[in-house]
Amino acid sequence: MNLNAFGGDYPSQFSQFIRFDPALVKDANNYANQLTSTGKLLQQTPYLPYISGRVDERLYDAYLMAAIDIGKLNIVGGVRMDSSQATVRQDINNSVTLSDGSKIGLVKLGVPTTFNMTNYLPRLALNYRFTDDLVLRGGYFMSIARPNPASMSIDRYVTYIQGSNGSQDIAWVNEGNPKLKPSFSHNFDLGIERYSDQLGVISANVFYKRILNFIYGARSNFTSSAYGLQTVRDLMAQIPGAPPVPDDVSISFNTYANGKPGTIYGTELNYSQQFTGLPGAWKGFGFRANLTFQKSRTNLVINYGSSSLPLPLTALIPATFFSAPSYIGNVVLTYNRFGLDANLSYSFQGKELLSPEKYYLHGYLQPNGELDLAVKYQLPGVKNVQLYFNGNDLLNNGHKTQSFQTIGSSNANLSSADFMGKSFSVGFSIRL
């Protein structure tokens, strides 16, 4: 059996799943997540219940800008006012799956919650032209990411699964966090660009981001906690026909939280060129490539739970930022001539953090890459009709993982693996 086709070597406990049979591999994550520290088997994690409701949000923006030229230096500065007023009211779905597979629940109208936020975001851009084709750029700007209003709801609901055949009951308590703050980022960058007379540019940039109050999903373990047990029993008591809650139920609290300050910094390289100087049909070719190297650092608040305290024990764990892979790259060969618009691209990225977990067992997405082809053809004499062809992950023979997730940063402990193979689509589009 060739385990290297899955991106690395695996412990023997995964060997029964690491085969070239998608029907077996797709269930590896389900089996791996069924074991607890007590040795009991847990049922498969369900999707969280659907929450409908209504969110009314009004956004107000205003911008003040000024520009000045001092010799070869151009300075543009400004400030933007960003104001949001939102009211959220959710229908709360309490869901119980009984041991025989049947479901019961209670849907109730949530409490309306209103939020008001106003922030001022400055921006400064500096451009210095050494010559017409050589430019030094630098700047600073402040950006904001407001919380989703639904994530700030004060309502609480439970998703409960009753165990069968001696397996452990599971309860997820889900609630919003009305104390969420918007995330801010202070962004600094400096770069140099060189242009060519054949529609080409090469550039190099360095950047630094200081991120405050980033928002993430926080999970707390309240198993064996008197506070957690009482909370679940109170919620279950509202559901007609709900089973009694045993003392050993596995309890997790899911909410949203603001993270500690962190940084992302790195270097970005870009190159783009249209080969218009080539003869005949060759002048339709073009090429572009970009590569970013970055490092990030923050402290995640990890909840370890407690059997005697109403709130979980927490610890600050150093980690990288979510969705901040160590490198990101893209190489594209293009052709645009005779009604043909084609792009052959290879994109790739390094390892990235997906989810923080206690005991440093964070979830990671391992490095991956894929080759794609996109072709459009404009029919001669028919302006509004285009033919198209798309091919995705062309180098994938079915044995290559499209998404490879692990427990811990190494590739030794499989969490889940997706085997999608290559895909193709062909068709036409009509522009009315």
More confident residue, 414 or 357: 414
- What per-residue confidence (pLDDT) applies to 256? 84
More confident residue, 284 or 39: 284
- What per-residue confidence (pLDDT) applies to 22? 44
Share of the chain above pLDDT 90, in %: 32
Q: What is the pTM of this model?
A: 0.72
Tokens representing residue 31 in the block: 């089996």
User: What residues pair up with 259 in beta bridges, in sequence order?
Assistant: none
- The angle at the Cα of 13, spanning 9 to 19, to the nearest 5 degrees, equals 60
**Among 420, 262, 418, residue whose Cα is nearest residue 353:** 262
Q: 326: Cβ–Cβ under 8 A, 6 or more apart, which residues?
A: 293, 294, 295, 350, 351, 352
**Among 90, 234, 101, residue whose Cα is nearest residue 158:** 234
In which domain, by residue range, is 316 found?
3-430
- What per-residue confidence (pLDDT) applies to 143? 93
End-to-end CA distance of the chain: give it in Å, rounded. Answer: 54
CATH number of the domain at 283, please: 2.40.170
pLDDT above 80 (res 92): no
Which of 81-95, 138-152, 183-197, 360-374 is predicted most confidently? 183-197
DSSP string, 51-78: -EEEEEEEEEEEEEEEEEEETTEEEEEE
pLDDT above 90 (res 328): yes
Q: Which residue has the tokens 């790195």?
A: 266
For the purposes of burial, counting CB atoms within 10 Å of the CB of 201, is it exposed (0-12), middle (13-18) or buried (19 or more)? middle
302: Cα within 13 Å, side-chain hemisphere:
17
253 and 228 Cβ atoms separated by less than 8 Å? yes
More confident residue, 132 or 20: 132
- Domain total for the chain? 1
Give the Cβ contact number of residue 153 at 10 Å: 25
In 3-state terms, what secondary structure has residue 231?
helix
pLDDT above 50 (res 30): no
- What per-residue confidence (pLDDT) applies to 20? 40
More confident residue, 35 or 104: 104
**Among 171, 178, 127, residue whose Cα is nearest residue 151:** 178
pLDDT grade, residue 125 (50/70/90)? very high
pLDDT above 60 (res 389): yes
CA 38 to chain centroid: 32
- The angle at the Cα of 25, spanning 21 to 27, to the nearest 5 degrees, equals 130
Give the mean pLDDT of the chain.
80
Mean pLDDT score, 349-369: 78
Q: Which amino acid is at 258?
A: N
Report how far residue 318's alpha carbon sits from residue 324's, in angstroms, rounded to the nearest whole number: 14
Q: What is the pLDDT of residues 52-77, one digit of tens each?
A: 567 788 889 999 999 999 999 999 99
Q: What is the dihedral of CA 300, 303, 304, 306, to 10 degrees?
A: 150
**Among 121, 119, 117, residue whose Cα is nearest residue 149:** 117
Q: What is the pLDDT of residues 130-139, one digit of tens each?
A: 998 999 999 9
In 3-state terms, what secondary structure has residue 432?
coil
pLDDT grade, residue 113 (50/70/90)? confident
pLDDT above 90 (res 315): no
Share of the chain above pLDDT 70, in %: 79
Q: 375: Cβ–Cβ under 8 A, 6 or more apart, which residues?
A: 340, 341, 342, 343, 388, 389, 390
Q: What is the pLDDT of residues 153-212, one digit of tens each?
A: 777 888 899 988 778 899 988 888 888 888 999 999 999 999 987 778 999 999 999 999
Q: 18: Cβ–Cβ under 8 A, 6 or more apart, which residues?
A: 1, 3, 6, 10, 25, 28, 414
- What per-residue confidence (pLDDT) applies to 157? 84
pLDDT grade, residue 103 (50/70/90)? confident
